Each structure stands twice: as C-alpha cells, then as structure tokens.
Amino acid sequence: MTNDIALVETLRQRRQQLAERLDVPVVLWSGRSSSRNFPANCFPFRASSHFLYFAAIPLEKAAICLDGGKMTLFVDDPQPESALWHGETPSRAEIATQIGADAAFPMSELESHAAGAATIAVQDTMTALQQSRILNRPVSPVKVLQGIDLELAQAIVSLRLSHDRAALTQLRQAADVTIQAHIAGMAVTTSATREADVRAAMEHVILAHNMSCAYTSIVTVHGEVLHNDRYHHSLQLGDLLLVDVGAETSTGWAADVTRTWAVSGQFSYTQRAIYDVVLAAHDACIAKIRPGVEYRDMHLLAALVIAQGLVDLGILRGQPEDLVEMDAHALFFPHGIGHLLGLDVHDMEDLGDIAGYEPERKRSDRFGLNYLRLNRPLRPGMLVTIEPGFYQVPAILTDRDRREKYRDVVNWERLADFADVRGIRIEDDVLITETGREVLTGELPTKAEAVEALLQGDLSCLEAAYS
C-alpha cells in the first residue's frame, strides 16, 4: 500500500512540474503493439516512454491528458472474451486509482478533451494516424517539431534530464540485474561453444528477474561491428568477446553495460595492451565527472587518452593533442563517449538532439565528433554512460581517402601486430550527484586482472566490491 501511495505521489509531482513549464493541455499516447505476420501474433509491446513517465503502467491503446497538474486517463475496458485468452485484467477505474488519475473515460471520449493539446508523435503508424485525427492537425515528426509540440518536448526534456528518487530506485534495480547478467556471462564463457551460449546465460538472469532486455543484446567476437546482433559465431581461444547487455525494468527503466573479455580466460599481450588503453580513457572520464563539467569535454578527454595510448604502443605517430585535433583517434574510436540513460537506453533520443544538445548547439560535422549523442553541461540527477572503445573497422581502415589523409600518423605495420583486437569497449552507468558522481554499475569489475579472475571462477573481487 505504501508503494502505491509513493507512486501516486511521484506521478502527481511530475505532472505538476510539467504544468509549471507548460500552460497548454497535453495528450500523450501509449501506442499499440504491431502484428507479426497475423493479427493474433504480436511483437512484444513497449509503451511510449513519455507516457510511462507520467503514467508508470505499460498500458496498450491508452492515452492520458495532462492539464494544470491534473491527469485524465483514457482507455477502454477489456472485452469480455479477452479473459479467455489473457485472463482477468484491471478495469479502467482500478487502473485510474493505481496511477492517481483524477478521472477516467473510454477512448471514444478522448477527442472531446483534446482540443488545443500538445503531443509527441509515437512510433507506430496506427497510433500516429489516430493522433492527427483526434487533434485535427498534422502531428509532426521530431525533426520538424514546432509550436506547442516543440514546447512540450522542451518541457519534458527539462524534467527528464534529472532523475527523481522513484526513477533512481528503478535504475538501480536495472543496474543490479545487469551486473548479475554479466557475471553469469563470464561464468559460462570458457565452457561455451558459441556466442549464443553466453547470450542465453545472460538473458536468463534478466528474464528470471521479470525484466526484459533494454535493447538487442550485443554478444560478439566481432566487436568491430558496433551494434552486432548475430550470435552464431563459434568461440575460439584467441577471441575477444565484446558483450553489451542491459536490463530494463517492467516500467521501462534501463541499464546499459559493456565489458570485453578473452574467451580463453586470459588476454593476450596485444589484447591486454589495447584493453588498458581503453580502460585508462574510461577511468579518466569518470574521475572528472561532476556537476558543471561539459560532456563534450569528457569525449575529448577520452579521445586524448586513447591517442596517447596508441602513440605509446607505436600505432599512432605525433603529439596526442594534434592527433585529436585532426581526428586521427576516430579511426579507432569513431563513436561518442556515451549518452543519456533513463526510460530508454538512449534516453529521449526519439526527440533527437532536443534532448541531447544544449539549446543553440548543433552537431559537428567532424569525423571525431559527429556521433556525439550528448553535448550538455552535466547536472545533478543526470545518468549518463561512459563507454570509450577501440575498434578495427574495415570500412574505416581501408577507406582510400582516410588512409591517404592519415598516412603519416598511422604506423600500419605496427597496427598489424594487433590483429587479434577486433573491438574493445568498456561501459558503465554514471549518476551525477551534487558533489561528484556515483557509478551505478561500478561493482562489476573493469580491471583486466579482475575480469580474468571472474572468467576463471574467482569471485573474491566481487566479494570485496560488495563488502
């Protein structure tokens, strides 16, 4: 009962904060599932994150109207025959009580309450068409947001950039389960035969906690493919396994963690050398995080540390500062240092750069900066990822123009010595506090020796972390 009261109070505070930022009514749709080849076979439903932020329940085919701090729920009661297939479900009135709605009506009455309302387009086409019909106007995609819809997006961003206590509780739960999943993956690796075996062990942990995966798991010996979603490759003793897996709670709050480990249980000399470079960038960024620090500066710091490390290994030539200025580091570290994390693994990215970029800032067209997803000063309550990496991406390294541009600063013969390093990434979820930072996933080791120990069944490093 106490948790229900706390949830209702949290939701009331969120919609009151929205009312203080926006003086027009708002209608947010949850969306609907889409069929997989035939109507009764649907893909798993995931409600709109903006709907979840204010309603907290993953209702399908529902909407909420927010006006002056009040919330009205619109959802149809289940059809009697649905109980045959789906069991008994709560009534509209019961749901309204659960989320603290001030009133509740069937969907047929939404149109009479939606005049002049702002909204945000959902992803599924059927609901998007419904949005335009009920609001009697086109609902613009994110790239061309304007008017009250743009004002709504900006207001939501200002709220969701900093997580409240209820959100942090969920985010910590997702982080804890994600840590357990990675430990389980490490535990089976040396006896596994395929990438799929490791993936199965990890996702089993997530599902056993009644959570889902926050994104398509990446479990691959081809770490140079940044969003690899294939799991059929066999595991060979000389391989590195890049594992990017995160849990999501039942109400949508996500974790996002990457570790890279040796299939054999021990890094080779070259793998360890590159791993330590990536880890140095990871640790340097986290050490610098505090309120007021520019996230872009974290990215450039990671780039500088990686450049220095590659110079030390003889892969790059020149001064690290000059190499970063000419984006030479991006040959091996082409993506940004991380992103916002919350009700999505890339939180609010459906709003484009409205969420990720401070007003008036635009994406750079530089090779080393154009994939930076976040360009804001850090503030308390923000949750971000820090995820530097090193990759040998053939499409980048064999590109004729880039090889010509960087011919004098890359020692290609020396790079060939590191052929067994396809990709390494180390990623943690970092909360900005009033005075510094808290690594929500910090109990999962990053140091090479500790990772090797876990692979070999030594849990003492975990015991030390939890003590």
Section 145-167 average pLDDT = 96
Question: Which tokens belong to 86?
Answer: 């789906």
Q: Report the SS3 class of residue 380.
A: coil
Tell whether the model's pLDDT for residue 333 goes beyond 70. Answer: yes
- Cα separation, 422 vs 410, in Å, equals 17
- 310 with 273, same domain: the answer is yes
**What tokens does 389 get?**
């990496």
Tell me how many degrees the CA angle 92-5-89 measures, rounded to the nearest 5: 25
Strands 212-213, 218-220: pairing is: unpaired
**pLDDT band, very low/low/confident/very high, at 1 (cuts 50, 70, 90):** very low
The mean predicted confidence, pLDDT, of the chain is 95
Same domain, 279 and 248: yes
Instruction: Quote the pLDDT of residue 86.
Output: 82
Convert the pLDDT of each residue in 205-227 to its tens digit.
999 999 999 999 999 999 999 99
Q: Would strands 383-386 and 26-29 be described as parallel, antiparallel, or unpaired?
A: unpaired
Residue in the structure block whose two tokens are 């997702």: 174
- For tokens 């009205």, what's the residue? 72
Query: What are the start-end ranges of the E strands in 284-442?
Result: 383-386, 389-391, 423-425, 428-432, 437-439
Residues 281 and 390 occupy one common structural domain = yes
pLDDT of residue 224: 97
Give 416-429 pLDDT, tens digit per residue: 999 999 999 999 99
Judge if 361 and 255 occupy the same domain.
yes
| Structural domains in the chain (count) | 2
Together in a domain, 402 and 438: yes
Asked whether residue 206 falls in the same domain as residue 189, the answer is: yes
Distance in angstroms (rounded) separating the CA atoms of residues 91 and 71: 17
pLDDT single digits (tens) 373-407: 999 999 999 999 999 999 999 999 999 999 999 99
171, 217: one domain: yes
Q: What is the domain range of residue 414?
A: 165-466
The type of residue at 225 is V
Give the model's pLDDT for residue 463: 63
207 in the same domain as 132: no
3-state secondary structure string across 333-374:
CCCCCCCECCCCCCCCHHHCHHHHECCCCCCCCCCCCCCCCC
Same domain, 142 and 262: no
Q: What is the pLDDT of residue 431?
A: 98
Of 26, 70, 77, the closest CA to residue 48 belongs to 26
pLDDT value, residue 51: 98
181: how many CB neighbours lie within 10 A of its CB? 30
Q: Roughly what angle, to the nearest 10 degrees, separates helices 165-189 and 448-455? A: 60
Confidence (pLDDT) at 187: 96
Residues 7 and 117 placed together within one structural domain of the fold: yes
Is 3's pLDDT higher than 70? no
Q: Which of 78-82, 101-105, 145-149 has the lowest mean pLDDT?
A: 78-82
CB atoms within 10 A of CB 17: 15
- Is the pLDDT at 90 greater than 80? The verdict is yes
Domain closes at, from 121, 143, 160? 160
Q: What is the pLDDT of residue 467?
A: 45
More confident position, 309 or 368: 309
Mean pLDDT (whole number) for 136-148: 86
Q: What is the pLDDT of residues 223-274, one digit of tens each?
A: 999 999 999 999 999 999 999 999 999 999 999 999 999 999 999 999 999 9
Q: What is the pLDDT of residue 412?
A: 96
Q: Write the CATH number for 65.
A: 3.40.350.10
Q: Say which CATH number the domain at 443 has.
A: 3.90.230.10
* Domain-ending residue, one of 160, 191, 220: 160
Q: Which residues contact 449 (CB under 8 A, 6 or more apart)?
A: none
Are 273 and 256 part of one and the same domain? yes
Are 389 and 424 a contacting pair, CB within 8 Å?
yes
**Last-in-domain residue among 134, 160, 186:** 160
The tokens of 90 are what? 């709560």
CB burial class (10 A; 0-12, 13-18, 19+) of residue 60? middle
Are 134 and 205 in the same domain? no
